[in-house]
Amino acid sequence: MVLTKGMDKEIVEYLYAAEKDRREVVKVTEKYPKINFIDAYSIQEKLIQKREKDGSRRIGLKLGLTSKAKQEMMGVHEAIYGYLTDDMLALEWEQLRYEEFIHPKAEPEIAFLIKENLHGKDVTAEDVLSVTQFVAPAIEIIDSRYLNFNFTLTDVIADNCSSSRFFIGSKWTNPKELNLEEIGMVMSKNGEVLQTGSGAAVLGHPATAVAWAVNKLGEMGKGIKKGDIILSGALSEAISFEPSDTIQVQFDKLGTVSFSCK
């Protein structure tokens, strides 16, 4: 579909207002059913540019659909990505305010902290590890603006892949000291274990997922930069939470990250 400048602006304003006002809206494809992935990423870029004009700063990327099983379920052959901005970074010692969200969910992630620029179309997992200074435990809070969390892939890409907030744990480890694909994870809510997983759930290896993102960006002449934070993809299904809930994610050898909500 060829999006006109007017369509782009309308969709960006629509999604931006939904996030700012913390209200659910019907998916974009209800009005524009022929939007494709290229259109969706173009809208996503303009949405982030609007955030930047309002004072936000890009600080990295987040990946989605990094599970082969989920890709097959959704009928797609690759992951998706969105951007992280500085105002999305939350602090473990500060309670989340539930009223700032619509219908949030928590996902366990392994974060990559990048020490050098990396660009290209043939980037490997080994290349990613070579420019990664640290890896750390992380939790991403996803919060789709769409009604009842109901959307197509093009809708979610346009909405910056439901990005909302994220936490980085205090233990940062040299990735050379770990076998990231073998790291086990347990996610609990209020002390009850709800999800388990391992690094291998993320395209076989979390660095492989990051390499995919770099190569995808490379198709547009972009890449990742020194200082970027990359959330490599969820190790399990997301879980919902409510006010007064506490979520904790424990990673074997990588450490623990948690948050509480009020």
Indicate whether 79 pLDDT > 80: yes
What pLDDT, on a 0 to 100 scale, did the predictor assign at position 262?
95
Other C-beta atoms closer than 10 Å to the C-beta of 21 total 11
* Rounded average pLDDT over 206-215: 97
* Rounded average pLDDT over 147-167: 94
Q: Do residues 156 and 225 touch, judged by C-beta distance below 8 A?
A: no
Q: pLDDT averaged over the chain?
A: 94
Which tokens belong to 106? 């928590």
Indicate whether 68 pLDDT > 90: no
What pLDDT, on a 0 to 100 scale, did the predictor assign at position 91?
95
d(CA 127, CA 186): 28
* Rounded average pLDDT over 187-214: 96
Closest among 237, 169, 162, 232 to 204, alpha carbons compared: 232
In a 3-state reduction of DSSP, which class is residue 189? strand
Strands 246-251 and 80-85: unpaired
Other C-beta atoms closer than 10 Å to the C-beta of 34 total 10
Higher pLDDT pick, 69 / 83: 83
d(CA 31, CA 168): 37
Domain that holds residue 201: 5-260
pLDDT digits (tens, 9 = 90+) for 18-46: 999 999 999 999 999 999 999 999 999 99
Question: Residue type for 206, please?
Answer: P
N-to-C CA span, the chain: 43
What pLDDT, on a 0 to 100 scale, did the predictor assign at position 78?
84
* Rounded average pLDDT over 44-64: 97
pLDDT band at 219; cut points 50, 70, 90 = very high
What pLDDT, on a 0 to 100 scale, did the predictor assign at position 181?
96
What pLDDT, on a 0 to 100 scale, did the predictor assign at position 69?
66
Where residue 244 sits, what CATH number does that domain have?
A: 3.90.850.10
What pLDDT, on a 0 to 100 scale, did the predictor assign at position 73?
63
Number of domains the chain is built from? 1
